[in-house]
Amino acid sequence: MLLLGIDLGTSSIKVSVIDATTNKKLISCQFPETEAEIISLHAGWAEQDPEIWWKNTQLAIKKANASGLYNPFDIKAIGIAYQMHGLVVVDENQNALRNAIIWCDSRAVTIGQQAFSALEDKGFLGSHLNSPGNFTASKLAWVKQHEPEVYEKIHKFMLPGDYISMRLTGEINTNVSSISEGILWDFEQQHISDTLLNFYNIDRALVPEVQPVFSDYGSLRSTIAAELGLSEQAIVCYKSGDQPNNALSLNVFDPGEVAATAGTSGVIYAVTDQRVHDPQSRVNTFAHVNYASDVERLGVLLCINGTGIQNSWISQMTGNKNDYESMNALASTIPIGADGISMLPFGNGAERMLKNKTVGAHIQNLDFLRHGVAHLWRASQEGIAFAFRYGLDLLRANGIAPQIIKAGHANMFLSPVFQEAFAGVTATPVELYENDGSVGAALGAGLGIGVFADRTEAFKGLRKYKTIMPQHIVQYEEAYEKWKKILEDKL
């Protein structure tokens, strides 16, 4: 039996095929090879075309199938990971009515703040564990308010992964973990939030059917199976936002375990059995993939919008055709603190951990006589690591104190400079694993279809790449305090 994992990222679609009998990855590939477009028609807006997601998903699957390394007809289970907090709306014919409003879009911040102000005294934070913020429900309220002609045509709204699942199966559904990230799950009542739906005057009929995370979301439509060379008996049986899925891919399921990612955005994700909620909703709590009403497993999520996207931007702006490996090598020649340069990586929309403020990215203390591109590259990576430290201190204030942080050996964690800066400034060991979101989604599909007896069997192939122990803690602390002072002056 083969398992297909699909990871709907901001930059591309990545797919992996796993042999369930050996846990061996047969292939991973992505489409497109270059970073996908984010459409920003106005400041603070961020959209993508769901139809392009779907086309890229098909092309990525066909690219994998064309390898000849397996028989596509042997794929029996499909798992989907996706960029969190997005909004897709479709009509009764399952056609997208507008571009998806994605995770880093800030247009609904004011709407969410107004809702929280009205509902805070009624215990909203205790029951929902988050402010409505600019999450999925608030984005839908924005559509209702500003695009009533679109809203009137909506048959269902959904998260990005639900949309890809719908295109594969023709079924529209979601799960508790996914719907909680839209702030539409009432943890006290254990059902869809009537409180927020009623406040926004959103018809409950627009909410997809809610299923367990690991369940049968539908078999492939015959036309899609024929187009992709897959079996009609293949089922979608796992869906999760990218951060809960990243935790799954690292075998992070139990209270006290912590995962991190540093792709376009950056996240620390800690599993707990407590209903943690930050009074200012700077960190957020969602249902984890193994959440159940009788055995609660929750993911406390710290998100930084501007992480890898800053590194990408600084690479493009400094030019000279340097790839990331060359940048990392040159950055390593610059001492800790980047000779006084500090960079704030907050140029990708409103930041939750900064109370939904749009601070913007900044480069401080640039000296034209002393500094070159290598200093900028070092400062960029340190600034991202320092943003993680700032957020980790918020998690610590909420009772989350990781002893070890697990991460995939990917994206920013490929850089030795970033690895050292992250571990040094957080004073926390980091374990790196050779795994990614699409592999995690495939393993999730295996758990969903029941091919694995338990988690131990599912993750027997997980191998640790290396452990980064904290070094130069005093030097990183000094550089961080200077960085933090610059940030606090902007707030």
- In 327-394 the beta strands, taken as DSSP E runs, fall at 342-346, 360-364
Which pLDDT value is given to residue 321? 60
Q: Which long-range contacts (CB under 8 A, 24 or more apart) does 399-404 make?
A: 399/272, 399/274, 399/276, 400/258, 400/270, 400/272, 400/276, 400/300, 402/256, 402/258, 402/268, 402/270, 402/428, 403/256, 403/428, 403/429, 404/258, 404/428, 404/429, 404/430, 404/431
Those residues with Cβ within 8 angstroms of residue 148's Cβ, 6 or more apart along the chain or in another chain: none
What value does the mean pLDDT of the chain take? Answer: 95
Which pLDDT value is given to residue 318? 87
- Cα dihedral: 68, 70, 72, 78 (round 10): -130
Residue 207 in contact with residue 194, Cβ under 8 Å? no
Q: Say how far apart CA 186 and CA 347 lie, in whole Å.
A: 32
Residue 457 tokens, joined: 């069997």
Residue 473, pLDDT above cutoff 70? yes
**pTM of this prediction?**
0.91
Amino acid at 59: L
Query: Nearest 5°: phi and psi at 4?
Result: -110, 125
Residue 453, pLDDT above cutoff 90? no
Residue 383 in contact with residue 345, Cβ under 8 Å? yes
Question: Which of 489, 310, 477, 287 has the alpha carbon at shortest distance from 393?
Answer: 477
Q: What residue has token string 């308010």?
A: 145
Segment among 109-113, 341-345, 347-351 with least mean pLDDT: 347-351
pLDDT category of residue 320 using cuts at 50, 70 and 90: low
Note the pLDDT tens digit of each residue in 393-418: 999 999 999 999 999 998 999 999 99
Q: Which long-range contacts (CB under 8 A, 24 or more apart) does 319-322 make?
A: 320/373, 322/373
Characterize the bridge pairing of strands 88-90 and 24-31. unpaired
Residue 286, pLDDT above cutoff 80? yes
Note the pLDDT tens digit of each residue in 11-23: 899 999 999 999 9
Residue 270 in contact with residue 391, Cβ under 8 Å? no
Residue 405 in contact with residue 430, Cβ under 8 Å? yes
Residue 238, pLDDT above cutoff 70? yes
Residue 352, pLDDT above cutoff 90? no
CA distances from 404 to 247, 303, 331 (A): 13, 18, 26
Q: Is the dihedral of CA 61, 65, 67, 73 positive or negative?
A: positive
Segment among 231-235, 260-264, 419-423 with least mean pLDDT: 260-264
Residue 193, pLDDT above cutoff 90? yes
Average pLDDT over residues 258-287: 93
Average pLDDT over residues 74-95: 97
User: In terms of C-beta density within 10 A (0-12 exposed, 13-18 middle, 19 or more buried), how is residue 296 classed?
Assistant: middle
Note the pLDDT tens digit of each residue in 61-80: 999 999 999 999 999 999 99
Note the pLDDT tens digit of each residue in 140-181: 999 999 999 999 999 999 999 999 999 999 999 999 999 999
Which pLDDT value is given to residue 323? 83
Average pLDDT over residues 191-203: 97
Residue 279, pLDDT above cutoff 90? no
